Amino acid sequence: ETGEMQDAALLSGRVLIWDGAPLREGPGAARIEDDWAVAIRDGRIAALGPAGELRRAHPDLPETRYGRDLICPGFVDAHVHYPQTRIIASWGKRLIDWLETYTFPEEMRFDDPAYARAVADSYLDLTRAAGTTCVASYCTSHPASVDAFFEAAEARGQRVFAGKTCMDRNAPEALCDTAQSALDDSAALLARWHGRGRASYVITPRFSPTSSPEQLEALGALWAQHPDCLMQTHLSEQTDEIAWVAQLFPEARDYLDTYERFGLLGAGGLYGHAIHLTPREVDRLAEVGAAVIHCPTSNTFIGSGLFDMAGLVARGLRLGLATDTGGGSSFSMLRTMAAAYEIGQLRGHALHAAELMWLATAGSAETLGMAGKIGTLAPGAEADLCVLDLASTPAIAQRAARAEDAWEEVFATIMLGDDRAVRDTWIGGRRG
Ligand code: GUN
Ligand code: ZN
């Protein structure tokens, strides 16, 4: 019976509730309830409500009392490269020379499955400590790097999305596959992992410059055979990258068209960065209902540009938030929300704490096709949670003491917080 109780718990404290989507409907679509509780059974949220009521209704559940801490959905990081864990914060380059100088040499090490597993474990430990319970990760071009990541996540009972990064040109020989091997390896990995436990396979062409038209076409065909799979790639991150894409695909109307013409544009597509979009590209993304992933610390760190959050929300696009480790400069979704806030300010749009927290949880979950399943504290949702100490450092505590409402406290932790603010992370109803 101890086995049965393992994924069962009662967590009491302050609780963050989504009544709607604050990014679309305004901050009023969110609530913070004092002295509430979350009941967890079989790895799912069974009930929520005032703590007293829940204690009476679930007397068998062992209670963890979080007091003034905030119980939130676990963070969902919608675009990461776990293989870049050990090159995070590498100095002085922009996208293409950053890839050549730091990224590709590091990714070459993943031909060693033991190395891949060690980095996967380290990555999942670091992000769990930062309150992240779900990620969508690129692996390297080595199929074993995909197995390593899914195995590490499976050992933690963690919901993850990942795929083999496909690239057959404009990269070191040792990292290049071919159109055929990318198709065969992706199909085999998809068959092995998609839907196994909490794993989802994501078809993953790195970006147009490193795929031949033949490879893009092969992956488009694979996606057509598996429309329930997501597809992730990069789009319009830096201006010189965009100029290079125009040279490589002279017949394409624009960057997005290099995906669309090969069957790689759709509602299950996750387009990372998407900064320098033309009006036509925004129209097409909106028409097909694609998802765009904002990677704010990466966009400033590599010098890419300022994402147009308000403009894309107004077009009805689903938006996710992501660290883009290791082009991004942090493993923390708190730091990532702070960067999104600052970029919003530079574009004349101040995001409310409720909008930032929603983006980092339910917003990203929506882009992964997981609305209602993760990223929200609601009955039936998977019990992936993050508990935030809203006074985790002296600097935050003195600001929180002056706060006039709970959102002001949350905002101080967003702007000033790091992994010290993460009291606990619960994955599938278990404290990690
Ligand atoms: N574009 C293609 N590959 C990458 C990558 O690894 N990181 C980022 N930020 N952009 C990319
Ligand atoms: Zn990326």
CA contacts within 13 A on the Cβ side of 261: 15
| Residue 372 covered by a domain | no
- Whether the predicted pLDDT of 165 surpasses 90: yes
Q: Whose CA is nearest to atom 8 of ligand 1?
A: 327
* Average pLDDT, integer, range 117-146: 98
Read off the CATH number of the domain in which 422 is found.
2.30.40.10
Residue 389's H or E segment, with its range, is none
Looking at ligand 1, which atom is closest to the CA of residue 210? Answer: 2
> Average pLDDT in the 345-356 region?
97
Looking at residue 388, what is its pLDDT?
99
Q: Is 234 in the pocket of ligand 1 (CB under 6 A)?
A: yes
Beta carbon of 103 within 6 Å of any ligand 1 atom: yes
Q: Tell me the residue ranges of DSSP E strands in 1-151.
A: 9-18, 30-41, 44-50, 63-73, 75-81, 132-138
Is residue 73's pLDDT more than 50?
yes
Q: Is the ipTM of this complex over 0.95?
A: yes
Q: With bands split at pLDDT 50, 70 and 90, how would you rate the model's confidence at 3? A: very low
Residues 284, 174: one domain? yes
Among all bound ligands, the one having the nearest atom to the CA of 84 is 1
Which domain range does residue 141 map to?
75-331
Question: What DSSP string runs through 237-274?
Answer: -SHHHHHHHHHH-TT-SSHHHHHHTTT--STTEEEEE-
53 and 99, same domain (yes or no): no
Strand positions, DSSP E, 147-237: 160-163, 165-166, 199-205, 230-235
8 Å CB contact between 350 and 319? no
- How many structural domains is the chain composed of? 2
Residue 338 in domain? no
Same domain as 183, residue 146: yes
Residues 205 and 254 occupy one common structural domain? yes
Whether 54 is in a domain gets the answer: yes
**Which tokens is 44 given?**
């799912």
With pLDDT > 90 as the criterion, what percentage of the chain qualifies?
Answer: 98
Q: Is it the case that residue 245 has pLDDT exceeding 60?
A: yes
Q: Is the CB of 207 under 6 A from ligand 1?
A: yes
* 140 and 199 belong to one structural domain: yes
The answer to whether residues 7 and 110 belong to one domain is: no
**Is position 173 within any domain?**
yes
In-domain check, residue 311: yes
The answer to the question of residue 339 being in a domain is: no
Q: Are residues 204 and 327 in the same domain?
A: yes
What is the CATH classification number for the domain harbouring 235?
3.20.20.140
pLDDT (mean) for 291-298: 98
Predicted local distance difference test score (pLDDT) of residue 1:
38
If asked whether residues 58 and 86 sit together in one domain, one would say no
Mean pLDDT value of segment 323-347: 98
* Coarse DSSP helix, strand, coil percentages of the chain, rounded to the nearest 5 percent: 45, 25, 30
Q: Residue 2: its pLDDT value, please? A: 44
> Distance (Å, rounded) from C-alpha 415 to C-alpha 432?
25
Calculate how far, in angstroms, residue 141's C-alpha sits from the geometric centre of ligand 1.
13
Asked whether residue 235 falls in the same domain as residue 290, the answer is yes
409 lines ligand 1 (CB under 6 A): no
Task: Assess contact for 77 and 132: CB atoms under 8 A.
Answer: yes
